[in-house]
């Protein structure tokens, strides 16, 4: 990896993204926090700066090509050459298949699938141009590995991200750029409905081998590892950090 330790975290204004930004800053990364909620991104970045870290916050819709390019421009201008990029931004519009509207399907695919593609492509372009042997980490889900009920849009998008990760790894390896994915499971705003509903929570907990919900902070070390030189020979992989919810032999 190059000496640069500049990382972009999309969806960094809250939840797992915020935890990632805080953890990585503590490990010496300079962090560009991008979020559709510009105020949230600015607040996270300001808190990092106040704690003595280098950071910048940017408002951006990851499904918009110009916005994603603007995030990269801001990161390079204010922090330096990008060597890490985490495609974490997401949304959720749950509905059963028979009742799901086309716009509910499209809006989730736009943020997760197109947003990840745009981030992956932008990060790769910047890393190739600066000759940075960087690391890109995409966020998928056990839903993308094994499907889910009531969120066929989300599962479809997360499945696409797995394929994108593997294809990206094969294309970008020649440039020394690694592409991996993490399938996390933690208590966030997106999972609030499950966590606060007694029936849903009990059902979900029964599927977790460790028998408890995780906090967002518990996801961060895996992302940190994939960004680091410790994972210098790892690419095209999907790591599940879900307490044993989804296992494959």
Do the Cβ atoms of 142 and 186 come closer than 8 Å? Answer: no
In the sheet that holds 178-184, the strands lie side by side as 55-59, 30-35, 6-10, 82-87, 135-139, 178-184, 238-241
Catalytic residue among 154, 204, 233, 246: 154
111 contact partners, CB below 8 Å, separation of at least 6: 62, 63, 89, 90, 91, 157
Which among 212, 222, 37 is positioned nearest to 135, based on CA atoms?
Answer: 222
Give the whole-angstrom CA distance, residue 56 versus residue 151: 33
β-strand 6-10 against 82-87: which pairing, if any?
parallel
- Backbone Cα Rg of the chain: 17
134: alpha, beta or left? (left if phi > 0; alpha if psi -120 to 50): beta
175 is catalytic: no
User: Where in the sequence numbering do the catalytic residues fall?
Assistant: 154
């Amino acid at each position: 990896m190059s000496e640069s330790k500049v990382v972009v975290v999309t969806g960094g204004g809250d939840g797992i993204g915020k935890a990632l930004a805080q953890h990585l800053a503590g490990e010496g990364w300079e962090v560009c926090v991008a979020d559709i909620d510009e105020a949230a991104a600015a607040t996270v970045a300001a808190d990092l700066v106040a704690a003595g870290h280098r950071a910048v916050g940017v408002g951006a819709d990851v499904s918009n090509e110009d916005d994603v390019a603007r995030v990269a421009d801001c990161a390079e201008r204010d922090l330096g050459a990008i060597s890490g990029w985490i495609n974490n931004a997401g949304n959720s519009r749950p509905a059963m298949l028979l009742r799901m509207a086309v716009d509910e399907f499209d809006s989730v695919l736009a943020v997760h699938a197109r947003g990840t593609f745009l981030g992956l492509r932008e990060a790769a372009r910047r890393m190739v141009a600066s000759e940075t042997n960087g690391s890109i980490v995409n966020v998928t889900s056990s839903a993308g590995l094994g499907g889910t009920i009531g969120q066929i849009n989300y599962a479809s998008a997360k499945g696409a991200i797995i394929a994108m990760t593997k294809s990206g790894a094969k294309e970008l390896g020649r440039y020394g750029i690694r592409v991996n994915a993490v399938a996390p499971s933690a208590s966030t705003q997106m999972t609030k409905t499950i966590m606060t509903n007694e029936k849903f929570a009990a059902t979900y907990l029964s599927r977790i081998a460790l028998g408890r919900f995780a906090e967002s902070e518990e996801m961060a070390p895996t992302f940190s590892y994939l960004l680091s030189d410790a994972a210098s020979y790892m690419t095209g992989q999907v790591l599940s950090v879900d307490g044993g919810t989804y296992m494959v032999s």
